[in-house]
Structure 1
Amino acid sequence: MEGPRIYSCSKCRSSIAFHDDIISKAFHGKKGRAYLFADVSGVDIGPKVDRPLLTGLHTVADIKCSNCHELLGWKYLKAYEVSQKYKEGKYILEKATIMKENW
């Protein structure tokens, strides 16, 4: 029996997100390609900070694996530009920090 396709932490293999929650694969993080997710689980959310990104200033919070504390990406808390508001409440997972499971 096949289970859902998921992404796991590449360091400890804890489940982080469902493939079906990907909104876009056209993002970039500190380590290269990144994916925008509607929802993630098994993460700890750090303090909020204002960070200038390629698309303007955003308030974000880094997200780490709850199990091994590996930095995985960030959560968008606030976008200051109207065109970027769709990112609020969404998550970036860097491709270099996650791996596919059940594919």
Structure 2
Amino acid sequence: MDEFVGPRLYCCCKCRNQVSLHDDIICKSFQGRNGRAFLFSHAMNIVLGAREDRHLTTGLHTVADIYCGDCREMLGWKYERAYVASQKYKEGKFILEKSKIVKGSW
């Protein structure tokens, strides 16, 4: 009999708090502050920081840093607004830095 394996998760690297599902990855080729980052459609168990305008590689965006809801480790940011028309698809999406998350499972 096969054992049920739950959805693959991504967790905070510091405390292992679940922060996103593998199925919510939109793209794996983003750049964060500390190297590679993934774009996710959803994130959970996080706390949002203050909104601020930031000049990123793809232009001006309004973003809010995201922190682990348990240990407050900075994990990435949420795109609140994109000012360049071609970047509007990022609005409401989350960047999680690869160095700040680890794979987990239920």
Whether 1:15 aligns to 2:2 is no
Give the deviation of 1:38 after TM superposition: 0.2
Whether 1:101 aligns to 2:93 is no
Corresponding residue of 1:5: 8
**What TM-score, normalized to structure 2?**
0.95
Corresponding residue of 1:63: 66
Query: How far apart are the structure 2 equivalents of 1:60 and 1:23?
Result: 18
Runs of 4+ in 1 over 3 A off after TM superposition: none
Deviations 1:47-74 (A, max 9, x none): 1000000000000000000100000000
Give the deviation of 1:102 after TM superposition: 2.6
Note the aligned Cα RMSD (angstroms): 1.0
Matches within 5 A, 1:1-103: 1-102=4-105
What SS does structure 2 have at the residue aligned with 1:26?
strand
Deviations 1:11-55 (A, max 9, x none): 000000000000000100000000000000000001100000000
